[in-house]
Amino acid sequence: MQSLEQINLLVRNCTDCPLSNGRTNSVPGEGNPQADVMFIGEGPGYYEDLHGRPFVGRAGKLLGRLLASINLVREDVFIANMVKCRPPGNRDPALLR
């Protein structure tokens, strides 16, 4: 089994699909690897692509408020996206043909 660090490195360097052409950064997951709770978004948005971190834009602020309402912080959970590179214009991810 690969460690999260190994998976992080694979995602950072991945060029397996055309989304790698338009990204600034790929966005591996982050957080507590032992977390009981995992949040999974669809794909990185503008700020996630810019910073290479999940949920750092408006969605991140909302997530932070929601977590605070149940006495948690980001570091308590694991946060990731299904698609690791930003689809152009935030379009829905598409199947490769």
Residues binding ligand SF4 (CB under 6 A): 11, 14-17, 19-20, 26, 83-85
Query: For residues 50 and 72, which CB has a smaller minimum distance to ligand SF4 in the complex?
Result: 50
- Per DSSP, the chain holds a count of helices (H) and strands (E) of 4, 3
Strands 30-31, 38-41: parallel, antiparallel or unpaired by DSSP? unpaired
Q: Name the minimum Å distance from CB 57 to ligand SF4.
A: 18
Q: Name the minimum Å distance from CB 37 to ligand SF4.
A: 23
Query: For residues 27 and 67, which CB has a smaller minimum distance to ligand SF4 in the complex?
Result: 27
Q: Name the minimum Å distance from CB 69 to ligand SF4.
A: 32
Q: Tell me the Ramachandran region of residue 52: left when phi exceeds 0, alpha when psi lies from -120 to 50, beta otherwise.
A: left
Strands 78-81, 30-31: parallel, antiparallel or unpaired by DSSP? antiparallel
Q: Name the minimum Å distance from CB 88 to ligand SF4.
A: 12
What is the DSSP code (8-state) at residue 79? E
Query: For residues 7 and 35, which CB has a smaller minimum distance to ligand SF4 in the complex?
Result: 7
What is the DSSP code (8-state) at residue 32? -
